[in-house]
Amino acid sequence: MKTNSIQKSRRRKEARPSELIAAALELFVERGFAATKLDDVAAKAGVSKGTLYLYFESKDALFKAVIEQGIFPILAEGATLLQQFEGNNAALLKEFMQRWWQLMGNTPVGGIPKIMISESGNFPEVANYYYDNVIVRGRDLLRQVLERGVTAGEFRDMDVETTIDVIMAPVLMLIVWRYSVAPCGTKDPEKYMKSYLDLILNGLMMKKETRL
């Protein structure tokens, strides 16, 4: 019985960083970065503030950990999709954006971009970290999809960097809506994404008859 108790305690200690990150994500999304206190994160995770500091030296460090645990795996999955996908590039772009929405926009992690949009000006170090490790990497993945489509003769010639902005803006708007004024009016994410992908894909395709 004593051995089992020790093993349970060890498992609990090993789990604490992920539990703290999960608690932090929930509070960051609910209250914003500035209003979230480390005391509240520790209390929500069921540990002392001292325990929190064993793993994270500051709120900035904790927020970076939230990004690493929540968003880095999504970026890694996107890179794997690009390497392994078999099919035309229009189908690849469609799958890429649908997965992005399901894994990020449609989960609590989707609150992170909204936080960055609203609060990054007051926290430049965190904003720079997010830009370098999320935005830059995400744009690179999308850039690869578009360039592949142009090279294959499936997509029209385009200003790729501006097209990336145009592709990302509507889904970011859907996220902002979800975490801001959604209680005032509803949107159906499935219908939104269907219309969005139809417009994007048919705008990029070289020939209208190949529309998806």
Give the pTM.
Answer: 0.84
Report how far residue 123's alpha carbon sits from residue 106's, in angstroms, rounded to the nearest whole number: 25
> What DSSP assignment string belongs to 46-76?
TS-HHHHHHH-SSHHHHHHHHHHHHTHHHHH
Residue at a domain's end among 43, 62, 81: 62
Residues 58 and 79 in one domain: no
Residue 192: Cβ-neighbour burial (10 angstroms; 0-12, 13-18, 19+): middle
pLDDT in tens, 33-87: 999 999 999 999 999 889 999 999 999 999 999 999 999 999 999 999 999 999 9
C-beta of residue 139 within 8 angstroms of C-beta of residue 65: no
Q: Are residues 194 and 90 in the same domain?
A: yes
Same domain, 48 and 102: no
Query: 80 and 50 in one domain?
Result: no
Using one digit for the tens of pLDDT, what is the confidence trace for 170-197? 999 988 888 877 667 667 888 999 999 9
Pair 28, 110 in one domain: no
- Report the CATH number at residue 131: 1.10.357.10
Report pLDDT digits (tens) over 137-182: 999 999 999 999 999 999 999 999 999 999 999 999 988 888 877 6
Asked if residue 192 and residue 149 are part of one domain, the reply reads yes
> In which domain, by residue range, is 78 found?
71-210
